[in-house]
Amino acid sequence: GQQLNQSPQSMFIQEGEDVSMNCTSSSIFNTWLWYKQDPGEGPVLLIALYKAGELTSNGRLTAQFGITRKDSFLNISASIPSDVGIYFCAGLNYGGSQGNLIFGKGTKLSVKP
Amino acid sequence: GAVVSQHPSWVICKSGTSVKIECRSLDFQATTMFWYRQFPKQSLMLMATSNEGSKATYEQGVEKDKFLINHASLTLSTLTVTSAHPEDSSFYICSARADHRANEKLFFGSGTQLSVL
């Protein structure tokens, strides 16, 4: 089945730093989504991407849908403490199972001690 | 934005008992709801798709007799873990689709942490 490789698995940030994470797949998706999950909570949608090559921003967050439709990246600029959490990418194809959201394994953002 | 309420937030139960988790869409009607399971430091894994008024569709490897799903109304789906065992301990999350044309418009509940002793 389809799998998503998300990297890095974890990263430490200092306030003000820019952060970048990405997801790659062995097969194509029609839609890429990025979610953030705080401890003990459900995921919250950050950005949705619908077209290959699309670049979309949401505040300090920017995400791009790769032109091959097999990858996507998420950038966070000028990170702040509340950015910590787990970020998941998810790929979606229409026409298959109604719940055909495939999630990456997540990137955990922590603050450098 | 749309709100999905999941209850309870956490539950501790004895092995062999059954646990019911509720998922409600508070300000929209959801013909389809989804149930996920998430182990620590792992991703969300789809367990089943719940359709209002019909039987749920289970993913491969998920026991339908163990994880009973009922979607009796457009705003409520329930997941019952029957005869729970320690290996069923996990974080269970529901989501509801606000737009029948758009799978990406999924709103997630806040999850239920199940601990089976």
**Which residue of B6, B44, B113 to mutate against A (max A Cβ within 10 Å)?**
B44
Closest CA to A34 of A92, A97, A81, A93: A92
Of B45, B57, B108, the CB nearest to A42: B108
Cα(B93)–Cα(B111) distance, integer angstroms: 4
| Phi, psi for A101 (deg, rounded to 5) | -90, 120
**E strands, chain A, where?**
4-7, 10-13, 19-25, 31-37, 44-49, 55-58, 61-65, 71-76, 85-92, 101-103, 107-111
Taking only Cα atoms into account, the Rg of chain A, rounded to an integer number of angstroms, comes to 14
The torsion angles phi and psi of B77, rounded to 5 degrees, stand at -130, 140
Residue-level pLDDT at A97: 47
Determine contact: A97 vs chain B, CB below 8 A: yes
| Predicted confidence (pLDDT) per residue in B78-91, tens digit | 999 999 999 999 99
Are A42 and B43 in contact (CB < 8 Å)? no
* Per-residue pLDDT tens over the stretch B25-68: 998 888 889 999 998 888 899 999 988 888 899 999 999 999 99
For residue A101, give the DSSP letter: E
Query: Å from B86 to nearest chain A CA?
Result: 19
